[in-house]
Amino acid sequence: MLVRYDGPHEAVEVPAAGLIVARGDTVEVPDALGARLVEQAGWTDPPAQPATPGYAAMQVAQLRAELDRHGLPTDGHRQALVARLSEHDAQAADVDGRDTDRSADR
């Protein structure tokens, strides 16, 4: 289950999931835990979004590892890391689309 934290604190720890969740972040947690969280002030069940690689649910260490795997800079805050990976994916999809278009012209 995806849950979003928009509470008053900059970040909160969710020990049951082993996560620290920053204000404004959406994370995936087990359904039972998610149901308990959304009963509390500051937590919501966000509307379903199209499938993505799930960068918003990754921890900073995971984001940095993914950036390193792609040979991208690993510095910056969480939001910058997510944005860098998302931009990389968009550029890769654009390149893939152009390659497909060119092969169709042959």
CATH number at residue 104: 1.10.720
Q: What is the mean pLDDT of the chain?
A: 84
Residue-number span of the structural domain to which 20 is assigned: 1-46
For residue 93, what pLDDT is reported? 73
Task: Please state the rounded mean pLDDT for residues 18-45.
Answer: 93
Same domain? 6 vs 31: yes
State how many domains the chain has. Answer: 2
89 band by pLDDT with thresholds 50, 70 and 90: confident
Residues 6+ apart with CB under 8 A from 101: none
Q: pTM for this structure?
A: 0.46
Strand partners, 12: 21
Confidence label for 64 from pLDDT (cuts 50, 70 and 90):
very high
Quickly tell me which residue has 């890769």 as its tokens: 92
User: Do 42 and 58 share a domain, yes or no?
Assistant: no
CA distance 72 to 65: 10
Same-domain status, 58 and 40: no
Q: Are 65 and 40 members of one domain?
A: no
Q: Residue 66 and residue 55: Cα distance in Å, rounded?
A: 9
**Residues 3 and 37 placed together within one structural domain of the fold:** yes
